[in-house]
Amino acid sequence: MLQEAPGEQAMRGIPWSWDPDPADDLIQMEFALVLRDGLRVESVHDTHVEGLFSRATWHALIAETGFVTAEFARPLGGGACRP
């Protein structure tokens, strides 16, 4: 459940993820939100399509848009570097 602190404006929401096509790298996120602004309350629905890609696919998609990527090692956790 998504929540915002009480006040003049507030939000409550329920996220829901599902996979309409298990053969691809995408999932669909649905958000049912109730928004309050003073005495006005409305409900809205929002859909996000999200993906989890391999590193090679990610680099290719970024390159298609004209961006250049670079990789470098950085310390993780206790300072160890991962190749």
CATH number at residue 6: 2.20.25
What is the domain extent for residue 25?
Answer: 2-73
Is residue 15 assigned to a domain? yes
Query: Do residues 31 and 17 touch, judged by C-beta distance below 8 A?
Result: no
The pTM of the full predicted model, rounded to 2 decimals, is 0.59
User: How do residues 8-56 score in pLDDT, each as one tens digit?
Assistant: 888 999 999 999 999 998 999 999 999 999 889 999 999 999 988 888 9
Q: Which of 43, 50, 46 is nearest to 24 (CA)?
A: 50
Is residue 31 assigned to a domain? yes
Query: Do residues 19 and 43 touch, judged by C-beta distance below 8 A?
Result: no
Is residue 80 assigned to a domain? no
